[in-house]
Structure 1
Amino acid sequence: MPTHPAILAATDPAQGHGGFIGWILDLMDTLGEVGVGVAILLETFLPPIPSEAVLPGAGFLAYEGRMNVWLAWLAATVGSVIGAWIWYAIGAALGRDRTRRLVGRLPLLDYDDFDKAEAYFVKWGGVAVLLGRCVPLVRSFVSIPAGIEKMPFWRFTAYTTLGSGVWNGLWVGLGFGFGPAIAPVLDRWSGLLSNIVLVLLALLVAWFVVKRIRRRRMRASHVTD
């Protein structure tokens, strides 16, 4: 009788995963808690690496006694924060004026868009950073506007640590708490949830593009009249 993939995952977290994901899971198995931190640091810069698939692998390893669950969670959170610091530094290096000029030159955007986004971030930046750490794709780039607007570094770090800690704790905890039993659920639903979020983001982008094109056409028609 063939062994269920979930049982194999408990003894070999890379089992059933090929390519880069398999390599990441094997990295955690080899380096332990340090590998977890490295994996999440890479995930910060390579959004196609879903933390929802990586972090439960760390939980499985902790369930098997091959790493400490608290140290795995801590390493994942440290990796998240370091990655966020790097993106924050990139945003700070770009600066407000340079970014505003860049936005004004982009198709379908103008300076008014930057000004509105800036006003929104000044008002809700802390909440955006906190909640953004729990949203696929967004969590990789929400640090950039924080750097551009020079959000106080200690405040940015606190929001990032809290949001990342909750997110990482959820997925590591699921892998540790349920062991092999959670694997079929994660295989089915973690990817689905990420895809739903990405589809919603794509729809928002499409809505923005359509709305902006219509506005440009209306402006052009008024000028013609």
Structure 2
Amino acid sequence: MQSIIHLINSYGYLILFSALTLELIAFPLPGELMMAYCGFLVYQAKMNWIVSIIVASSGTILGITISYCIGSTLGLKFFKKYGSYVHLSIDKLNKTSYWFNSYGKGLLILAYFIPGIRHITGYFSGITKISYKKFAINAYVGAAIWASTFISLGRFLGFGWNKFDVYIKKYIIIGIIIIALILSIIYIYKKHKKNIFLY
């Protein structure tokens, strides 16, 4: 992480954009920590809050779009055969499939907050041929929410940004539960809205 901090200090937005693009293509990079540190730099007035969120969101969007295109082009057979070489094993794909079946396409918003899942949701969306429009609406909104959350958190914590793990473990679970409840309510409403209006 120290080397990434040094690079962010030297090249700022370029490293933020590039690192988040690579992370969403499945490179093992600490996205949340990077964004929290950028939030700290915003706190110090060395970076701009709005620009940081736009750059982070754009890098994330580019990365997940590339993974969507790769998944759509190569298909399930390729990943069954070679997925384990790029950390996309059948077990991970099955786990993602379970989450998608439980929460629908709204998982594309929620997935950014789930380590190990966000890295493969783009591939999975492409493999399962989710339409680009539906993918983009959910994934791009999720990218903006994810980037805004962690950059704002780093800004709020200031010099305590490096303790954000303590806060995130406490609040991320609450956040996931709230988002899951919202998605469940939306799903139930869509599925049963005719019956609801009958009463």
TM-score class, shorter-chain normalisation, is: 0.5 to 0.7
1:5-41 Cα offsets, whole Å, 9 max, x none, are xxxxxxxxxxxxxxxx222222222222232111212
CA distance in 1 between counterparts of 2:62 and 2:79 reads 26
Identity of aligned residues (%): 25
Residue 69 of structure 1 corresponds to 49
Residue 81 of structure 1 corresponds to 61
1:50-69 Cα offsets, whole Å, 9 max, x none, are 22211111011111111111
Whether the 8 Å contact between 1:58 and 1:72 is mirrored in structure 2 is yes
Residue 177 of structure 2 corresponds to none
Task: Establish whether residue 159 from structure 1 lines up as the match of residue 167 from structure 2.
Answer: no
Which residue among 4, 11, 24 is the counterpart of 2:4? 24
Which residue among 98, 114, 132 is the counterpart of 1:135? 114
**Structure with the higher fraction of residues in helix conformation:** 2
CA distance in 2 between counterparts of 1:100 and 1:184 reads 36
Secondary structure of the residue aligned to 2:129 is: coil
Which structure 1 residue ranges, 5 or more long, are not aligned? 1-20, 104-108, 197-225
Which residue among 172, 195, 200 is the counterpart of 2:151? 172
Bigger RCO (CA 8 Å, 6+ sep) = 2
Residue 38 of structure 2 corresponds to 58
Q: If the length of structure 1 is used for normalisation, what is the TM-score? A: 0.61
CA distance in 1 between counterparts of 2:51 and 2:44 reads 14
- For residues 1-12 of structure 1, the aligned pairs below 5 Å read none
Following superposition, the deviation at residue 188 of structure 1 comes to 4.0
CA distance in 2 between counterparts of 1:100 and 1:89 reads 13
Following superposition, the deviation at residue 42 of structure 1 comes to 2.6
CA distance in 2 between counterparts of 1:53 and 1:126 reads 26
CA distance in 1 between counterparts of 2:44 and 2:138 reads 32
CA distance in 2 between counterparts of 1:62 and 1:183 reads 11
Whether the 8 Å contact between 1:91 and 1:144 is mirrored in structure 2 is yes
Whether the 8 Å contact between 2:37 and 2:161 is mirrored in structure 1 is no
Give the AA of the match of 2:52. Answer: A
Residue 48 of structure 1 corresponds to 28
- For residues 107-122 of structure 1, the aligned pairs below 5 Å read 117=97, 121=100
Following superposition, the deviation at residue 131 of structure 1 comes to 1.3
Following superposition, the deviation at residue 77 of structure 1 comes to 0.8
Give the AA of the match of 2:161. Answer: A
CA distance in 2 between counterparts of 1:101 and 1:60 reads 41
Whether the 8 Å contact between 1:47 and 1:136 is mirrored in structure 2 is no
Which residue among 155, 158, 161 is the counterpart of 1:183? 161
Which one has the largest radius of gyration?
Answer: 1
